[in-house]
Chain A
Amino acid sequence: EVQLVQSGAEVKKPGESLRISCKGSGYSFTSYWISWVRQMPGKGLEWMGRIDPSDSYTNYSPSFQGHVTISADKSISTAYLQWSSLKASDTAMYYCAYGSGSIDPWGQGTLVTVSS
């Protein structure tokens, strides 16, 4: 069974850096892309970008290009989403999901709260 387990909730201050993780199991991690999706409080789903763990090739939504970095460490079957300088507007639930087209299953989500 394909399973994605994400790291726990984070509370950060504006300007701080952050990396959250998504560990895959139950399949060959390098065989399928991982996508990241943002959901701001009370809002809809926004696709952020995706990574091919076999070679770390990425592509990003134009809305997120330059604001976040997606990476992966195939030796530990883990994908990452990171920020170098958080803003209050980054407060959201972040999901990783299996695949690059229709995406499923999804991780349980990581809640990121950015507040001074």
Chain B
Amino acid sequence: EIVLTQSPGTLSLSPGERATLSCRASQSVSSSYLAWYQQKPGQAPRLLIYGASSRATGIPDRFSGSGSGTDFTLTISRLEPEDFAVYYCQQYGSSFSLTFGGGTKVEIK
């Protein structure tokens, strides 16, 4: 099973700042089958990025994903107040099992 490690655990930033979130896999994620989700308190997660770098429908272009192999990054270019949330990466390159990372909380500094 592929293990995903997200860092940092918590990111304290101010609105307008740039956020860089990391997701590292224990083995190569095939075909960049890596997704990112946002979860706000009391809500279900929402897909942001799939295929490592493709934005899901309706996702603002301040969100971008990059990376391949074992190292992936989610970047939020300029934080808006509604972006403070928990972010999860997820791999779906393994045929029979999906896994999530432990999450990164982006909080207001």
- Which A residues are within 8 Å of any B CB, using their own CB? 35, 37, 44-47, 50, 59, 61-62, 95, 100-109
Instruction: Please state if B1 and A103 are interface contacts (CB–CB under 8 Å).
Output: no
How distant is the Cα of A35 from the Cα of B100 in the complex, in angstroms?
Answer: 13
A47-B98 contact given A101-B92, A102-B92, CB 8 Å threshold: yes
Instruction: Please name all residues of chain B whose beta carbon is closer than 8 Å to the beta carbon of A101 when the two chains form the complex.
Output: 33, 35, 50, 92, 98
A61-B97 contact given A45-B88, A102-B92, CB 8 Å threshold: yes
How distant is the Cα of A90 from the Cα of B9 in the complex, in angstroms?
Answer: 25
A104-B56 contact given A45-B88, A62-B1, A109-B44, CB 8 Å threshold: yes
Residue of A nearest to B96 (CB): A59
Instruction: Please name all residues of chain A whose beta carbon is closer than 8 Å to the beta carbon of B101 when the two chains form the complex.
Output: 44
Closest 9 CB pairs of A and B: A104-B47, A102-B50, A101-B92, A102-B35, A106-B44, A47-B98, A45-B100, A44-B103, A59-B96
Q: Which of A35, A104, A108 has the most CB of B within 10 A?
A: A104
Residue of A nearest to B39 (CB): A45
Q: Is the interface of B mostly helix, strand, loop or mixed?
A: loop
- 30 example contacts (A-B, Cβ-Cβ < 8 A) are as follows A37-B45, A44-B100, A44-B103, A45-B45, A45-B88, A45-B90, A45-B100, A45-B103, A46-B100, A50-B98, A59-B96, A61-B97, A61-B98, A61-B99, A100-B98, A101-B35, A101-B98, A102-B33, A102-B50, A102-B51, A102-B56, A102-B90, A103-B35, A103-B47, A103-B90, A103-B98, A104-B56, A105-B46, A106-B45, A106-B46
Instruction: Please state if B88 and A102 are interface contacts (CB–CB under 8 Å).
Output: no
Least CB distance, B39 to chain A, in whole angstroms: 8
Residue of B nearest to A109 (CB): B44
Segment 4-55 of B: residues with Cβ below 8 Å from A: 33, 35, 37, 39, 44-47, 50-51
How distant is the Cα of A108 from the Cα of B100 in the complex, in angstroms?
Answer: 19
